Amino acid sequence: MFKLKVKKFFGNWQDYLIITLGSLITAVSINMLLVPNKIAPGGVSGAATVLYYLFQFPVGTTMLVLNIPLFILGIRYLGGTFGVKTLFSTVILSVIIDLTTFLPVITEDPLLASLYGGAIMGAGLGLVFRSGATTGGTDLAAKIVHKFVPFLSLGQILLFIDFVVIVFAAAVFKNYDLALYAIVTLFVASKLIDGILEGVNFAKAVFIISTKAEHIAEKVLKDLDRGVTGLNGTGMYTGENKTVLMCVLARREIPVLKSIVKEIDKDAFVILTDVREVLGEGF
């Protein structure tokens, strides 16, 4: 029972290994691409980058110092719900950043630095988030602010904090081009994080509403060798019961499906939506 409670509290050791790997990858992007090119993509790391150029404070140590009051406020107002993993990831990221300052600068082109820095940082943070942790910082700050201004969403608060840091960096560096590069970094990083957390967008889910649903289903099963599920639906305007076909396909198979539907029922209603991850036969 004691071991189960400890495991539940701390999590699996594999999670901490992945968090460490993600922190290392994030540190690589910060030391080899972002900080040398004065790109401060919001958050605590962005603020630490600005303070580094103002006072030569180590980036990792500064991030840790900035996170300490956030953790204290988090414990007071949120009850410490951010967890042990977040505390571990915050400390280990700060330590690794300061230990890897010897890494060479890859490029002095700010556009390349913002693109590749954002991609690498997003990959590292994605691994951290997938392990059930965050790096503290603005995530924690947003939760604290949200407690006092609940009419604003966490996303809006995060966006505002990042915006303030980017504008602050642009004012200190007296270069608004760097602010634009920082926004590019944020965008690329967010896409990589989404890809790691939700899976790569490689499939499509299709919903087909047709009076000839059975014929379409037979053709899909025969020509595409894909399973089709029939869902019971009711037209709210006509009150008629209809069969809604649902099928998940690889993206390359969509043109064939459209051709099948058009051939059998030109009046069919077809909905295509992105699928992040598919588990099961055929995928």
φ, ψ at 229 (rounded to 5°): -110, 130
Give the residue from 184, 162, 188, 186 showing the smallest Cα distance to 47: 162
Q: Both tokens of residue 149?
A: 């201004």
- pLDDT per residue over 113-151, tens digit each? 999 999 999 999 989 988 878 887 887 888 788 888 888
Average pLDDT over residues 256-261: 89
What residues does CATH 3.30.70.120 cover in the chain? 203-275
Residue 180 CA to chain centroid, in angstroms?
20
DSSP state string for 100-139: TTTSPP----HHHHHHHHHHHHHHHHHHHHHTT---SHHH
What is the Cα–Cα distance from 222 to 243, expressed in whole angstroms? 19
> What is the tens place of the pLDDT at every residue in 82-99?
678 888 999 999 999 999
The pLDDT of residue 36 = 97
Q: Report pLDDT digits (tens) over 95-115.
A: 999 999 999 999 999 999 999
The sign of the CA dihedral 8, 14, 18, 20 is positive
Burial of 14 (0-12, 13-18, 19+ CB in 10 A): exposed
SS3 label, residue 155: helix
For residue 262, the tally of other CB atoms under 10 A from its CB is 11
Judge contact between 84 and 71, C-beta under 8 A.
no
Fold of 203-275: Alpha-Beta Plaits (3.30.70)
- On the question of pLDDT at 4 being above 50, the answer is no
Q: How far is CA 193 from CA 9, 24, 118, 135, 196, in A?
A: 25, 16, 10, 13, 5
Q: How far apart are CA 44 and CA 138, in angstroms?
A: 6
Q: Which residues, 6+ apart, have CB-to-CB distance to 72 below 8 Å? A: none
